[in-house]
Structure formats: structure tokens, C-alpha cells
Amino acid sequence: MGNELKSRVKQRNMLTLAYLGDSVFTLMVREALVKKYDTKPNSLNKRANEIVCAKAQAKFMEMIKPELNTDELDIVMRTRNAHLNSRAKNSTLTEYSLATQFEALIGYLYLIDDNDRILEIFNKYVAVEL
């Protein structure tokens, strides 16, 4: 991962990174559920919604924060300072902010093509919840 690529990605709007990260994370959760369970889509969707929600993502963010490197912490801190125009239903403002930070981190890692790091985070913190 070149520093030039990281620099360009860091210049993006943090909420745009969160938008992408939400999609990447949702796909990862759905793929893992389909691989783990042979059940009806309605059941899979219910379980996916329990993982891909602000409350769960906030929990993941709090767990991984101590392990983040400088670049990752920079993304998290910049996202924390971003102006959030909305809030997810059934979550507090703090949970929503942490969830947005988590999504931005995933979006950042995806754009710099650090799939190994995404998988490391996913397997260590998320897969155990499935």
C-alpha cells in the first residue's frame, strides 16, 4: 500500500468512506452467514440485521480501537469529528457515531486494498458473533 494511495483516500469525505464501508461490511456478514448456515433468507436477514446495526458496530469499534495503527486511528478520529446529519433508529448518538467510525475504517481499508486487515478485524471480532 503506497503512501500516495493512503493520502488520496484520507482526503475523501469520511462519511463517504462510511457509506462504502457499510456496504463492504454488510456483504461480508451476509457471505459469512450463507457459508455458515443453510437456512431460509428471512432467517439469514434477521441475523444479519443484528450484526449490521449501529449497536453491534459500536461494540466492534470499541473492541478494536486499542489495536488500531496510526493511519487507522486518524480515520477514526476524523470520522468522529464529521458532522452526522442523521442517527440510526434504536441507537444512541454515541453508538451511531462509533458505528460510523467503524464503517469509515472498513471503507478506508477497502479503498487502500488492505483486505487482509479487513479480514483480520472481521475474523477476530465479528465472525465469533455469527
- HSE-up of residue 122 (Cα within 13 Å, Cβ side): 22
Q: Which amino acid is at 101?
A: Q
> Which pLDDT score, from 0 to 100, does residue 39 have?
93
Among residues 7, 110, 106, 103, which one has the least CA distance to residue 57? 103
Contacts of 122 (CB under 8 A, 6+ apart): 28, 32
116 is catalytic: no
pLDDT of residue 1: 54
Give pTM, 2 decimals: 0.92
pLDDT digits (tens, 9 = 90+) for 33-47: 999 999 999 999 999
> Which residue positions in the chain have pLDDT lower than 70?
1, 87-88
CA 119 – CA 14 distance, rounded (Å): 21
pLDDT per residue as tens digits for the range 3-26: 888 888 878 889 999 999 999 999
